[in-house]
Amino acid sequence: MRHKRTNLESELRANRPEPSHELVNRLEGRVREGRRSRAGSFRVAFAGALAAGVLAALASVGGLGYAATATGDAVDKAKRTVKSHGVLVVHKSPARDQYDKPKVKKKKKAKKKAKGRRFARPPFTG
Amino acid sequence: MLRVDPLRNPEPLIRRVYGYVAYRIGDGPDAEDITSETFERALRYQKSFDPQKGEPLAWLIGIARRLIEGRPPTLELAIDVPDRADAGDLEDDTLRRLAHSGAVARLEPRDRDLIALRYGADLTARQIAEELDLRTNAVEVALHRALGRLRETIGEPGDPPVRKQGTGR
């Protein structure tokens, strides 16, 4: 009796209805596809969370202001490097204050024509 | 916390879910539809899987059970068991499989469910007990009785009476 029972049980297991290959392949593909899309969205979420974490950490120690200043400096330096400039003229300096007073232009006096007697060659005497 | 992927190895899960569904509602397109829908739902609600509550198979079987129970009553099991006279071209095991499926189909829904859980999905008595919210011992007794009734349905000679089987364990 025991043998018979075992036999029926093993037959039930052995004769278990099997899915078609097509169904198995289709469902396996579907599961793989679902897993891929989930992994993709997980990657995006992870990158976003990481970026937010880094920003929060920087903000907590004033890193954002530092980063902004550093960026500004870098931009200035880049501008200075790229921009061509001529001779550096120092407009304000002690030396310039002392020696570089603006010259007053003297008006040339118009030669006055001698009135009356005019210097002339001495008379020929002889 | 590291999340466990319950569908990491889908092929054996597909086979066992299908085995369960086919023993419940019959081998064929309906069983394939229910199996497909089970995996669709599993993918959709994968986050709800809790490995501490049970194994992936038990979780999937739970989904399949709910789907079967939610089906309209018109889609009832209909398995044609071939006559012996038609069995000439069929392989022996195919004939036996159909005979078993047909016999399971004629069982009461509760017996059919137990047989499908035990031999279709290959769940242990403990897993079945968790699924049905019963004690393991009660499941073992109920399975024993269901097997006896199945034996009667198949018409195996020398079957012991079902009631004696249930009390004799």
Q: State the residue range of the domain holding A56.
A: 2-99
Contacts of B119 in chain A (CB under 8 A): 9, 12-13, 16
Total domains, chain A: 1
Cβ pairs bridging A and B (under 8 Å): 86
A39 part of contact set with chain B, CB < 8 Å? no
Per-domain residue ranges for chain B? 10-159
**Nearest residue on chain A to B10, alpha-carbon basis:** A28
Per-residue pLDDT, averaged over B138-165, amounts to 75
Q: Is the pLDDT of residue A119 over 80?
A: no
A23 part of contact set with chain B, CB < 8 Å? yes
Are residues B39 and A4, on separate chains, in Cβ contact within 8 Å? Answer: no
Asked if residue A113 belongs to a domain, the reply is no
Lowest pLDDT segment from A92-101, B112-121, B129-138: A92-101
Distance CA B78, CA A35 (A): 36
Are residues A9 and B119, on separate chains, in Cβ contact within 8 Å? Answer: yes
- Give the DSSP H or E segment for B150: helix B136-154
Distance CA A42, CA A36 (A): 10
Model confidence at B164, in pLDDT bands (50, 70, 90)?
very low
**Is ipTM over 0.85?**
no
Please identify among residues 54-73 of chain A the ones whose CB lies closer than 8 Å to any CB of chain B: none
Which of A17, A24, A28 is nearest residue B19 as measured by Cβ atoms? A17
Are residues B7 and A1, on separate chains, in Cβ contact within 8 Å? Answer: no
pLDDT at B100: 75
Asked if residue A105 belongs to a domain, the reply is no
| Residue B137 phi, psi dihedral angles, 5° rounding | -60, -40
A29 part of contact set with chain B, CB < 8 Å? no
Distance CA A8, CA A21 (A): 27
Any idea how long chain A is?
126
Residue A70: both structure tokens together: 């550093």
- Dihedral sign, CA of B63, B68, B71, B75? positive
Which of A22, A27, A33 is the best residue to mutate to test the B interface, defined by the most B CB atoms within 10 Å of its own CB?
Answer: A27
* Most confident stretch, A67-71, B76-80, B165-169: A67-71
pLDDT at B13: 94
Q: Which amino acid, A103?
A: K
Residue B119: both structure tokens together: 């031999």
Region of A81 (left: φ > 0; alpha: ψ -120 to 50; beta: rest) is: alpha
Distance from CA of A57 to the nearest CA of B (A): 22
Distance CA B43, CA B32 (A): 17
A24 part of contact set with chain B, CB < 8 Å? yes
Contacts of B53 (CB under 8 A, 6+ apart): B59
Where do the H-state alpha helices sit in chain A? Answer: 2-14, 21-60, 63-82, 94-99
pTM for this entry:
0.61
Asked if residue A10 belongs to a domain, the reply is yes
Contacts of B154 (CB under 8 A, 6+ apart): A8, B99, B100, B103
More confident residue, A7 or A1: A7
Per cent of chain B over pLDDT 90 is 50
